[in-house]
Structures are given as structure tokens and as C-alpha cells.
Copies of this chain bind each other. A is one copy, B any other.
Amino acid sequence: MTQLEHAREGRITAEIKAVAANEDIAGSGLAAAVAAGQVVIPANRNHRNLRPIGIGKGLKTKINANIGTSADYPNLEDETRKMATVLDCGCDAVMDLSTGGDITAIRRALLAQATIPFGNVPVYEMMVDAPLRGVPFVSLTAADMLAYVRRQAEDGVDFMTVHAGLTLKAIDKLRKRPRVAGIVSRGGSMLTAWMLHNKRENPFFEHFDELLALAREYDVTLSLGDGLRPGALADGSDWAQLEELLTLGELVQRSRQAGVQVMVEGPGHLPLPQVEMNIRLQKEVCAGAPFYVLGPVVTDVAPGYDHITAAIGSAVAGAAGADFLCYVTPAEHLGLPAEGDVREGIMASRIAAHVADIAKGLPGALDWDRRMAAARRRLDWSAQEKLSLDPEKFKRVRERRSTRTAACSMCGDFCVYRVLENLGL
């Protein structure tokens, strides 16, 4: 039985209990939210050493870091170091998006290292591995694909991005209203190539019931991917995106009926004024399913700074109700992130999540800021360092711009807290 099925029967599983304790909420309330499909707890029964987290309504906004090899950077060692950074930086979840080297071995090694929920995009292994076995991706059968998914589930993958809502009808919408940036989802592009080559419907859509049976068996949380997410501001909220979203709404219903935990993925690239609308729309169409957003980045013109463009979009998305934020690194649109990029991406994403938690009015969220402000007023630099999101960077910047005073090198003795000392203002 899945967490969803247990919760429906009113059982408070060990995972629900752990999550409730972590979030400082009642287990019964959390179980009700899981039962309603408003919260998911990605926890594959085969993932050992997992500290489960909850994603969804009433819980802290969670963040995910994408790591994984590419053809240009196929080494497991690099990814092992990135995973250590991910864990060290307090990231809530991680996805292995490897597309270089031995995908299976890399997944198993990283999964063994991951104490946080571990996701993947099943199609990536297929597109890399099948050709090595002499089978072009477009020649894979639905059965072949499901066999890959089964092996990944067996390994312990907690959540999987499946682009099951990318249908022929949605591709038709794309043709009727062409895009500036076309399709930018890798999984989505592979499935589109398969569909156009075979002149058949998306195998994950056609065989969704089999996928559900498999997900249920291991309690894999499905993350319904947005293969047609806009990849440019100009394409935001267009017909193709909305056609896919409508299908995802149905697939959410079918997943829940099958007892499978499900969340939904969203854009991508969006102009800022479209962000809140997209979150509200998804929550309506998908009956409150947890929403997992990639960014969104709110301008296309700032490669090198997409951790910032995404932090803006993520903060606003989170404040509007998005539950799970996928980080974006400074390397986005330019190359595979290195370890330092991973760190920067996570910090920007943690900022967005906390800003969202304050906006959501989560109990205790603002207290952190209040404690920091109080320490600042006391000129208690050691408390400020401890309270800061990234104490290491706090220390580095402060030492680099050192002062001879009790304040900081910007104001020195003109610090407001020295000027107004003891005035009680």
C-alpha cells in the first residue's frame, strides 16, 4: 500500500509521523492532507536511509536540486561531490538527470548516498542506454519503456517525472499556434520525436494504467511533467501548455483513484504577471495536487544569472501556492552545472522558499527573520552569522570587508545602532 492508501484508511505511517514531527504539525491533519492528495510523501519502499519529507498544502515550501552527468561531463565522482553539496546545503530533494556515462550505475551510487527523496526522469536512461544496445529511442516499445521504469523503481527512486500529458492533440495545438522556443523539455522532445516517428499516441499516456500499477507497487510518487512547458517568456500560458495541463488534471484524478501519489510540474519561463495565474490555474485544474515548478525564470536575457531570475519567479510562485521549487543554477542555458553552481542555485532557491513560507503565513517562518533583526540590532555578529542562511558566506564577506569598529565597514561608528544607542526607539 502507498502512503496515500494508508492515509485514506486513517493510518498514520512512520513516514507521516516523521514528516508531521519535522513540520511541527499534527499527524492526523497531515494524514488527511495526504489522503486528499494535497500532500505527497515521496518514499519508495526500496529507498533505504530516507528521511522522508512532505510536499504540499500547509507544509514548508520544499526545494529540489538537479544533478547528474552529461556526455561532456560523465564522471560519477563529480556527481558524488555535488550530492554531498546538496545534502550539506540543506536541500530538501534531489533529482539525478544523468545523461552521460553508465546511467544505471550512477543512479545506484547516488541513491545510496541520498538521505533525501530522490527523483529522476525515466526517459533519460532510455535515450542514452537504448542506442548503446543498438535500439534507437524511437524504436523502443511501450513495454521496453515500462521495463526501464520498473528497474528504476526497484532501485528505490522516490519520484519520477513522466510526461504522460504530452498528447498528439497537444502537439497539434503547438502546430496551430507556433512558438518562439518550441519544446524545451528533454523528456518531452524525445517523446515527441517518438510520437511523430511512430505516428502513435504518447506511450506513457496510452499505458498510463500500467504505469500506475508499477508506481503503486513501489510507492513511487508520479511527478507529471510538463513536456510542453514554455521555454521563453513569449510562449507563456499558450494553447499547447494549457492543453497539456488539462490532460494532467485528468491524470491526477486517475492517479489518485489508483492510490498513487501524484504531483504536477509547471513552467519554466513566464513573464512575472503570469506566475500567480499559473499557480492558481494548476491548483484548480489539478484539484489541489502539489505543484512543482522549475523556476520559473522571469526573463530570458540573463544567462549566467538564472539562479536570480528563477529566485524571483520561485518566490512569487511559492507565495501564490507552489509547493516545490526546482532550483536553477548560474550555468542554466550555458552548460552542466559544476559544484559551485549547485551551491549557488540551492541558496537562491532556499531564499525563494523562505520568502514564500513567510507569504504563506507558515507558523514560525517570520520568527527566523525577527531573530536575525534582533541580533542585528544588538550588533551581535556571532548570532547573526549563526542565524544566516549561509553562515560560511556571511563570514567570508564580512572578513573580506573587515572593520575596526564594533559595527560593519559600511557605517562604522555611524551605525544607526550606535547613533541611537539606549534611546529605546
A interface residues (Cβ-Cβ under 8 A, vs B): 70-73, 99-100, 127-128, 171, 174-175, 178-186, 188-190, 192-193, 196, 231-235, 269, 271-273, 298-305, 307-309, 311-312, 315-316, 319, 330-331, 333-338, 347-348, 351-352, 354-356, 358-359, 366, 368-370, 372-374, 376-377, 384, 387-390, 393-394, 396-398, 400-405, 408-414, 416-417, 419-420, 423-425
A sample of 13 more A-B contacts (CB under 8 A), given A193-B419, A301-B368, is A99-B411, A180-B370, A181-B377, A233-B358, A271-B358, A299-B354, A304-B394, A304-B397, A308-B308, A311-B311, A331-B397, A335-B400, A335-B410
**Chain B residues near A184 (CB-CB < 8 A):** 416
**Chain B residues near A388 (CB-CB < 8 A):** 301-304
Minimum CB distance partner of A311 in chain B:
B308
Minimum CB distance partner of A396 in chain B:
B304
Query: Is A72 in contact with B404, judged by CB distance below 8 angstroms?
Result: yes
In the bound complex, CA of A338 to CA of B409 (Å): 11
In the bound complex, CA of A80 to CA of B412 (Å): 21
Query: Is A272 in contact with B420, judged by CB distance below 8 angstroms?
Result: no
Q: How far is the CB of A145 from chain B (nearest CB, A)?
A: 17
Minimum CB distance partner of A375 in chain B:
B300
Q: How far is the CB of A82 from chain B (nearest CB, A)?
A: 13
- Quick one: given A273-B359, A335-B401, A425-B192, are A369 and B300 in contact (CB under 8 Å)? yes
**Chain B residues near A192 (CB-CB < 8 A):** 420, 423, 425
In the bound complex, CA of A347 to CA of B304 (Å): 10
Query: Is B72 in contact with A409, judged by CB distance below 8 angstroms?
Result: yes
**Chain B residues near A366 (CB-CB < 8 A):** 233-234, 271
- Quick one: given A303-B388, A311-B308, A315-B298, are A333 and B408 in contact (CB under 8 Å)? yes
Q: How far is the CB of A290 from chain B (nearest CB, A)?
A: 21
Q: How far is the CB of A316 from chain B (nearest CB, A)?
A: 7
**Chain B residues near A183 (CB-CB < 8 A):** 416, 420, 425
In the bound complex, CA of A19 to CA of B179 (Å): 35
Residue in A273, A299, A330 whose Cβ sees the most chain B Cβ within 10 Å: A299
**Chain B residues near A273 (CB-CB < 8 A):** 319, 359
**Chain B residues near A171 (CB-CB < 8 A):** 425
- Quick one: given A185-B416, A305-B390, are A425 and B179 in contact (CB under 8 Å)? yes
Q: How far is the CB of A60 from chain B (nearest CB, A)?
A: 14
Query: Is B347 in contact with A305, judged by CB distance below 8 angstroms?
Result: yes
Our pick among B334, B413, B420 for the contact of A182 (Cβ within 8 Å) is B420
**Chain B residues near A269 (CB-CB < 8 A):** 373
**Chain B residues near A394 (CB-CB < 8 A):** 303-304, 334
Query: Is A182 in contact with B387, judged by CB distance below 8 angstroms?
Result: no
Query: Is A373 in contact with B234, judged by CB distance below 8 angstroms?
Result: yes
In the bound complex, CA of A404 to CA of B269 (Å): 27
Minimum CB distance partner of A403 in chain B:
B72
Minimum CB distance partner of A360 in chain B:
B273
**Chain B residues near A319 (CB-CB < 8 A):** 272-273
- Quick one: given A366-B271, A414-B99, A419-B189, are A301 and B389 in contact (CB under 8 Å)? yes
Q: How far is the CB of A294 from chain B (nearest CB, A)?
A: 14
**Chain B residues near A302 (CB-CB < 8 A):** 347, 351, 354, 388-390
In the bound complex, CA of A389 to CA of B299 (Å): 10
Query: Is B424 in contact with A175, judged by CB distance below 8 angstroms?
Result: yes
Our pick among B347, B358, B401 for the contact of A337 (Cβ within 8 Å) is B401
